[in-house]
Structure 1
Amino acid sequence: MTSDIPPAGMTIDWDVPITMDDGVVLRADVFRPSEPGAYPVVLSHGPYGKGLAFQEGYASAWQQMIDAYPEVAEGTSNRYQVWELVDPEKWVPDGYVCVRIDSRGAGRSEGVLDILSAREAADLCDCVEWAGTRDWSNGRVGILGISYFAMAQWQAASLRPPHLAAICVWEGAADFYRDAYRHGGIGSDFGLGPWFPNQIAAVQHGVGKRGPVSPVTGEYVAGPETLDDDTLAANRVELAEQVLAHRLDDEYYRSRRADFAAIDVPVLSSGNWGGAGLHLRGNIEGFLAAGSSRKWLEMHGGTHFSPFYTDEGVALQKRFLGHFLKGEETGWEQQPPIELKVRHPGERFVSRAETQWPLTGTEWRRYHLDPNGRTLSPEPAGGPSIEYRTTGPGVTFLTAAFSEETEVTGPLAARLHLSSATTDADVFLAVRLFDPAGVETTFIGTNDPQVPLTLGWLRASHRKLDPERSLPYRPYHRHDESQPLVPDEIVELDVEIWPTCIVIPRGYRLGLTVLGRDYGNAPHYVPHSGTALTGVSPFSHTHPADRPSAVFDTTNTLHFALDRPSYLLVPVIPRREGTPRLDWFAHLRGTDDRRAPGGDDAGRP
């Protein structure tokens, strides 16, 4: 191990062993104050390799972030920056111990790699209890991290490890079927594509010398030994194979789902308006379902991880954890139950406090699909059916131009009447905003810098609803059986559309596009990256085994009748005079006219 001199006042313990209840040993890096004492613990546990430097493993994302937010790289040597985790140099001086753990089968931890499994959740609970009982711990452990490191928190918190004091779930899915791997029953390329092999299997324990080296310790990130390919394969559960094998919401997914009612610790759930596909729905659904009486929701915009690392993001995390891990007076007592960064075109956000979701006073407007001019009309409409090729641009319906500024914030839904020339149909919906010239206004998404307002999906054979869990604005599908279509026979489809937030300027139009494939716009790029993006990256749906052309390369037909209206349900928020507002990005950047950055890292959740 190479010598690393920690910053003054910090002690680092590398590769500390933690033995699980079945004897498997996980490895942790512990960053703690040098002054003896009992400190609160900020813990993370995941498969990305605790020794993989952010700057090396995710170089383009790192450069984009610090170009846009130089503050992230200030006040720290950046030696210990790791993907989606806190920088110890910004936390240890404030009296926290930061514990980073490679999850089972990943990095320098032995065992079989089976991501987000019940076994992994139990491991995380064991790690919490280990950290809560060390000499340097005050017995209060909080879990903090983005995405994967957030998703796992719902599971662990529902198991109630005694020393868990709070969770901060930053852009983390809650339902791995609906939020991540099978949107509306359609297989997502997130689960079927390169994420698992490129980001997780690449640092599986045993990759050893074929993998990266920690620039700090000089050790192999993926373990001290190098195993052959057959052994590595035997020591991991392949995600794509599981997603293809489990097309319904079966025990595979249920075993990875938290008992949300059992969560009783304080929860801060932070989601992203631009996160349709992974980093949005789960934060809201998890917040609503969590049994804790002490829970807060914060919704922001921008890229997937930049808000987490900015001074503003770190301050929010420390106000929350400082209150519940240290007992400090951080002002958290005044935090509203819901804090929204309300989005305007041009990536302008203003902060507003709310008390419930959907928002108090929401006016639910039905915009009916009218085939006579392809408009979204206040009144039901009948008319001729519309055919569209599932490989084509789809059909777009537009509202009239808004006569006054109008806010739309909350969940959406659509009801369609559709037939297919085959035995199934995949329905893709894109809710879009168009300026007075008819040009689409796109937004910075978590993983793509030009995304529509929001998206919805449904496989028609999965149209069966759960009547106990469905709401008019949030249809909930059971996904427990396939009900094939009869070719050319009309079916009624209720489609969940993920929440959104936008203040629509006067003269703009809202649009709904119905497609038989993913929404796509003109290919575009982000700085420091050669990847071409089209508006949904990396949450597309293109796997031929899940979407065989014989079934899904076809013609679908939309049908319209006064006695069976088709519509888009939209949450309109009445104007609220006198509400304090803060330009969020201007507050972050210290200026009123600079826009948020584009697309940190297109392919990495």
Structure 2
Amino acid sequence: MMVDWDVPITMDDGVVLRANVFRPDDDSAYPVVLSYGPYGKDLSFEEGYPDAWRKLVEDHPEVAAGSSNRFQAWEVCDPEKWVPDGYVCVRVDARGWGRSPGFVDPWSRREMIDLRDCIEWAGTQPWSSGKVGLLGISYYAVNQWQVAALNPPHLAALIPWEGFSDFYRELCYHGGIACDMKSVWYRRTISTVQHGLGERSFVSAVNGELVTGPETHTYTDLAANRTDFPAEIDGRPLDDSYHRERSAVFERITVPFLSAGNWGGSSLHLRGNVEGFVRAASRQKWLEIHGREHWTEFYTDYGIRLQKRFFDHFLKGLDNGWDRQPPVMLRIRTVDGDFIDRTENEWPIARTQWTNWYLNPATKTLSTDPPTTDQQASFAALTDPGITMTTPPMPADTEITGPVAATIYISSTTTDADIFAVLHVFDPDGNEVVLQGAVDPHTPIGQGWLRASHRELDPNRSTPWRPYHTHTNPQPLTPGEIYRLDIEIWPTSIIVPTGYRIALALRGTDYQYHGPAAQLSHFKGTQLRGVGIYTHADPDHRPPTTYGGTTTVHTTPNQPATLLLPHIP
């Protein structure tokens, strides 16, 4: 394998980005697998993310097998597992990150144009066949959705692996409620890989160079060379042009793609992978949903085989049967953390038996029979654990796979209320089933959120199983009046065994796992208590005078509150 370090790529405004090119050691031309992102192309996975790397190779030794692992990096492919199979791997440090200079502005249009120009550069090099595919997790997936709408001529295929597509609804404001993740992520990232950290940064274990470039800038200069990302988002609580600039434009995406999601990504990426598959204009598109940690299946033999089959077909033109691959590939979850692989022909699954479970807040039960009397139950929004309503024991093994929605009626003693809707499964002894999430090891079965003042629906995009809120026209509550809320609960999958129960919790705060908190080294001490770093606890966004009242859940025979579940026969 040949490695070209710090190859210059000049952008249209004169800024020179830096890329590493890993290619076969000959003079032939090969298809290109490209990534563009902020995590430092020269920072080793093991050094930058030691907890994640250690667990990955302990649980899945195949990841480290067959490679020296010298070039393994966070959320991008290992070139030692791609170059021998006839691919060129191009890793670009995004503007302002790693060894690329420039102003940091995550997922901005400037970055989108940079990525487009990198694709076109890679498609015209002497070692390139002219076909470029994009591959990577998270940040490296999100910008795939963005740049695909620009339709660069040399872009032949995408694999957005666990990547959100709606900046407002999936990263910044869940159901209109501000998510704290942006600050945790940005603080950690700029402190480790912003260009100009110089001697304060990591040193590449492979080439001995400083991961963030040769110059060491002052902290004042570093701050001046980046946007105040959390403040930008905090100042835009509605879905405006800032958020839309950083979101996918699905109707313009026509390139073939494989959208790979994670059931455990129920606070960031999963919705984007599903929405991309459902809404993009591409005629050749596939959806795959797996489980385990956010980074795991990308690097396992399972993930790499999937990625190569797709790219072999679209980048190399091989007749390997991919064009006959069913469009939906699901790893159905079981309560013991295992999976059952199955293919489908569409999403949501056509044979879904959409089943309304009726909420009985007074008795804290869910029933398939509608209520015959008026009922209500109340909780203190910021201090009580809320109301949990539970089904009878399942009479047979029951699969729930697909999007979920709740229609509820609430009143508040204040002018607004935040609703956290949590889908649970309990075993016959009453113990909650929690599964490995994308980040947090103790994740509930499903989650949804809605700020009551953001209840307005977009009728053109809403379906019974996926309410779509405008988030542009907040309507405060009149204390004591009853309002209908249609809550989107992100897609889920679980086989609920005989005797287990399904439950819906309505609360005014984040779900919390009752056992000990977990930690990951790259989150620098953040406690993971069931929702990972995706909490909604900033008091500036949730002042008690507005969100700390008493919330009452209502149901009546004429206006029954419901939980719509996708039962799969």
Give the Cα separation in 2 of the matches to 1:229 and 1:524.
Answer: 36
1:531: Cα distance to partner?
5.5
Q: Residue 549 in 1 paired to residue 544 in 2?
A: yes
Q: Pick from 332, 345, 356 the counterpart of residue 366 of structure 1.
A: 356
Instruction: For residue 263 of structure 1, report the CA deviation from its aligned partner.
Output: 1.2
Q: Give the C-alpha shift of residue 526 in structure 1.
A: 5.0
Distance 2:429 2:202 in 1: 50
SS of match in other structure, 1:21: coil
Amino acid at match of 2:125: R
Report Cα offsets for 1:19-58 as digits up to 9, x if no partner. 1111111100001111111001000000111111111110
What is residue 398 of structure 2 aligned with on the other side?
Answer: 406
Shift of 1:457: 0.2
Cα shift at 1:528: 7.3
Cα distance in structure 1, aligned partners of 2:93 and 2:175: 32
CA deviation map 1:321-341 (0-9, x unaligned): 111111123331331100111
State the secondary structure of the residue aligned to 1:196: helix
Q: Match for residue 248 of structure 1? A: 238
Q: Residue 312 of structure 1: CA displacement?
A: 1.1
Query: Separation in 2 of the partners of 1:354 and 1:370?
Result: 34
Letter in 1 for 2:342: R
Give 1:252's aligned amino acid: Y
Q: Is the 8 A contact 1:372 1:383 kept in 2?
A: no
Match of 1:113 in 2: 104
Any idea what SS the aligned residue of 1:441 has? coil
Per-residue deviation, 1:533: 2.2
Match of 1:26 in 2: 17
* Contact 2:41/2:92, CA 8 A, preserved across alignment: yes
Q: Which amino acid aligns with 2:275?
A: E
CA distance in 1, matches of 2:550, 2:350: 41
Q: Deviations over 1:94-119 (max 9, x none)?
A: 11100000111111111111001111
Choose which of 447, 452, 469 in structure 2 pairs with 1:460. Answer: 452
**Distance in 2 of aligned mates of 1:132 and 1:172:** 24
Q: In structure 2, what is the Cα distance between the partners aligned to 1:201 and 1:160?
A: 34
Alignment of 1:437-516 (within 5 A): 437-516=429-508
Once residues 531 and 545 of structure 1 are traced to their aligned partners in structure 2, the CA distance between those partners, rounded to angstroms, is: 20
Instruction: Note the alpha carbon deviations across 1:520-573, whole angstroms, 9 max, x for none.
Output: 112435587675421101111111211122222221111121111101011111
* Residue aligning to 1:146: 137
Letter in 1 for 2:217: L
Paired residues of 1:524 and 1:532 also in contact (CA < 8 A) = no
Q: Which residue of 2 aligns with 1:65?
A: 56
Shift of 1:484: 1.0
CA distance in 2, matches of 1:307, 1:526: 21
Contact 1:466 1:478 (C-alpha < 8 Å) held by counterparts: yes
Deviation by residue 1:321-373 (Cα, 9 ceiling, x = unmatched) = 11111112333133110011111110121111111111011111110111342
The share of aligned pairs that are identical, in percent, is: 54
Q: Distance in 1 between matches of 2:567 and 2:512?
A: 26
Is the 2:15–2:102 contact (alpha carbons within 8 Å) kept by the matching residues of 1?
Answer: yes
Give the corresponding residue for 1:591.
Answer: none
| CA deviations over 1:285-304 (Å, ceiling 9, x no partner) | 01111111000000111111
Which residue of structure 1 lines up, in the alignment, with residue 28 of structure 2? 37
Q: Which amino acid aligns with 1:257?
A: S
Q: How does 1:509-548 map to 2 (within 5 A)?
A: 509-526=501-518, 532-548=527-543
Aligned residues: 564
SS of structure 2 residue aligned to 1:26: strand
AA at the equivalent of 1:517: T
| Contact 2:9–2:19 under 8 Å retained in 1 | yes
The change in CA–CA distance for 1:372 and 1:420 in structure 2 (over 3 A counts) is: closer
Cα drift, residue 201 of structure 1:
4.6
1:84-138: per-residue Cα shift (whole Å, max 9, x none)? 0100111111111000001111111111110011111111000000000000000
- Asked whether the 8 Å contact 1:279–1:446 carries over to 2, the reply is no
Task: Verify the 8 A CA contact 1:64 1:528 in the aligned structure 2.
Answer: no
> Relative to structure 1, is the Cα distance of residues 523 and 208 closer, same or farther in structure 2, using a 3 angstrom cutoff?
farther
**Contact in 2 for aligned 1:49/1:107 (Cα 8 Å):** yes
Contact 2:387 2:506 in 1 (8 A): yes
Q: Partners in 2 of 1:562 and 1:352 — Cα distance?
A: 39
Structure 1 residues 229-238 or 452-461, which shifts more? 229-238
Residue in 2 that maps onto 1:47: 38
Unaligned runs of 5+ in 2: none
| Counterpart Cα distance in 1 of 2:33 and 2:516 | 38
1:224 aligns with: 214
Matched, 1:271 2:266: no
Q: CA deviation at 1:258?
A: 2.2
**C-alpha contact 2:453 2:474 (8 A) present in aligned 1:** yes
**Alignment RMSD (CA, Å):** 1.3
- Of the structure 1 ranges 466-475 and 529-538, higher mean CA displacement relative to structure 2 is found in 529-538
* Matched residue type, 2:210: Y
Counterparts of residues 307-346 of structure 1 (less than 5 Å): 307-346=297-336
1:2-13 alignment to 2 at 5 Å?
10-13=1-4
- What CA deviation, in whole Å up to 9, does each residue of 1:428-467 have, x standing for no partner? 0100001111111111111011111110000111111111
Q: Does 1:84 align with 2:75?
A: yes
1:154-233 equivalent positions in 2, closer than 5 A: 154-191=145-182, 193-233=183-223
Decide which of 278, 286, 291 is 1:296's aligned counterpart: 286
**Secondary structure in structure 1 of the residue aligned to 2:315:** helix
Partner secondary structure for residue 323 of structure 1: helix
SS at match of 2:115: helix
- Distance in 1 of aligned mates of 2:143 and 2:191: 18
Offset at 1:228?
A: 1.4
Q: Using the alignment, how far apart are the partners of 2:526 and 2:170 within structure 1? A: 24
Q: Is the 8 A contact 1:525 1:531 kept in 2?
A: no
Amino acid at match of 2:80: E
Q: Which whole-Å CA distance do the structure 2 matches of 1:526 and 1:84 have between them?
A: 21
SS of the residue 1:168 aligns to: strand
Question: Shift of the alpha carbon at 1:194?
Answer: 1.4
Q: How far has the Cα of 1:378 moved from its partner?
A: 1.1
Structure 1 stretch 406-415 or stretch 372-381: which is displaced more?
Answer: 372-381
**Paired AA for residue 400 in structure 2:** V
Structure 1 unaligned segments of length 5 or more: list them.
1-9, 575-605
Residue identity in the other structure for 1:174: S
Q: Report what 2:91 is aligned to.
A: 100
Contact 1:523 1:533 in 2 (8 A): no
C-alpha displacement of 1:418: 0.7
Is the contact made by 2:365 and 2:390 (CA closer than 8 Å) also made in structure 1? yes
8 Å Cα contact 2:256-2:285 kept in structure 1: yes
Aligned residues of 1:52 and 1:214 also touching (Cα < 8 A) = yes
How far 1:383 sits from its partner (Å)? 3.2
| TM-score, length-scaled by structure 1 | 0.92
Give CA deviations for 1:182-205 in whole Å, capped at 9, x if unaligned. Answer: 1001111112x3111102453111
Give the Cα–Cα distance (whole angstroms) in 2 for the partners of residues 392 and 331 of structure 1: 54
Q: Which residue of 2 aligns with 1:598?
A: none
2:568 corresponds to 1:559: no
Q: Distance in 2 between matches of 1:450 and 1:125?
A: 39
Runs of at least 4 residues of structure 1 off by over 6 A?
A: none
Alpha-carbon distance between aligned partners in 1 of 2:186 and 2:527, rounded to the nearest angstrom? 20
